Amino acid sequence: MTKEDIKILLVDDEKQFVDTLAERLAMRGFAARVAYDGPEALQAVEQATDVIVLDLRMPGMDGFEVLRNVKKSNPQVQVIILTGHGGDAEEQTAYRMGAYNFLRKPMDIDELLSSIRMAYRDKLENAMVAVSLAEGGDFDSARDVMNEKDIMQDHEK
Amino acid sequence: MNTSQCTARLLASAVHDMRNVLAVIRESAGLAQDLAALADSSAARNGGGALAGKQRLEAALAEAQRSVGQGAALAEAMDYLAQSGGAESGEHSGPCDLARVNRSFCLLAGRQARAAQIGLVSGECSEPVWASVPPMDVLRALLEIFDLCASVGGQVQLRFTAGRRQKEEGIVVEVLEGANRELALAAMTGSPMLSGMRPGWRAALMPWREQGPRFFLSLSACDSDAA
């Protein structure tokens, strides 16, 4: 895998921040797309996406709603929360809803990159496990792995 | 709404903004470092590329400077909030400059306001407007007006300007524009007495029709029983 392979989507209404972050990621060989609000993010995730870096507090549709929609429509996409509004309650809710990691601003770019790499690696591993299960004829388990069914069921309880 | 709730909400909003400001500074400074590190090799390869890099470096540093200014203004507003909380528990509760309270409120509540799609503007005042009111009570009243607008779906722009009406100091509240402007005006018209005041203080939101669709926020001491 090369680092350019990771399809990253950055979602934040703080335009200056997210544009500069995208520029710095590009300088490190990671091409990232950018969305400035929830609806734009949901539209962008229709294109192939591996990892979303998602703000929580945004006008209109907030990050939790985006996370819920993404996990419903594209459960294999990994979502890293990156927020300036980082209370314990928000962190727990995000993890319950299937977020991969929860980071607080201002963060170090290397910390974010490390999290993105790990999220992508886990996504690939999930896919490989699912393929392996499917090859063995266990299609239900394969689907559960791809859909992270346990997480979603836990959240819906 | 009590003092703790008011303080907590305004501080949470301001801290959120402060983190965003710090994030912009960190990314802008980081980008400047990245560009500086690349400058030599870029210059060797391509003179035009070096010029573009220099311009971006200058823009990143200017953004960092702007964000530092924004952070300093937020810090000042948070300091004012801390002082206001301290003043409330002390013996001296005034006077306070209503223009400064407005400016501080618009900064402190800025992030929360953007989330609710409410624009907050502090009207220009050429000089302080002193009123014998505890600043924390003014902040409470402004937050309550904000909540009235949020309760109808936000999407309005509010302007708070310190001023006088019939020799009484107060705050002129205007709903400037936005999709829910009429709803916000109706909510404010239907809520003349704000309820979140401490005993002994009264806040009234009075329509000021001769001046157009605007209100005058009057804050005054009263008997505890009447509050």
Q: For all residues of chain B together, what is the average pLDDT?
A: 84
For the cut 70, the answer to whether the pLDDT of residue B193 exceeds it is yes
From B111's Cα to the closest Cα of chain A, the distance in A is 9
Cα separation, A40 vs A128, whole angstroms? 30
Residue B115: list chain A partners with CB under 8 A: 57-59, 62
Lowest-confidence region among A100-104, B31-35, B220-224 = B220-224
CA B180 to chain centre: 20
Residues in Cβ contact with B15 at an 8 Å cutoff, skipping those fewer than 6 apart: A84
Q: What confidence tens digit (pLDDT) does each residue in A62-99 have?
A: 999 999 999 999 999 999 999 987 777 889 899 999 99
Cα separation, B182 vs B184, whole angstroms? 5
Closest chain B residue to A22 measured between Cα atoms?
B27
Closest chain A residue to B22 measured between Cα atoms?
A106
CATH of domain A3-121: 3.40.50.2300
Topology of the domain comprising B96-226: Heat Shock Protein 90 (3.30.565)
* Residue A144 sits at the chain B interface (C-beta within 8 Å): no
Q: What pLDDT is recorded for position B46?
A: 61
Cα→Cα distances B49→A25, B28, B46, B60, B156, Å: 18, 19, 5, 16, 44
Cα separation, B136 vs B82, whole angstroms? 10
User: Are the C-beta atoms of residues B67 and B28 closer than 8 Å to each other?
Assistant: yes
Closest chain A residue to B31 measured between Cα atoms?
A24
Residue A58: list chain B partners with CB under 8 A: 115
* Residue A14 sits at the chain B interface (C-beta within 8 Å): yes
Lowest-confidence region among B15-24, B76-85, B110-119, B180-189 = B76-85
Average pLDDT over residues A15-26: 94
Q: Which residues pair with B194 in a beta bridge?
A: B203
Residue pairs spanning A and B at CB distance below 8 A = 67
* ipTM confidence score: 0.75
Average pLDDT over residues A27-40: 95
H or E element, residue B60 = helix B47-89
Give the predicted TM-score (pTM) of the model. 0.74
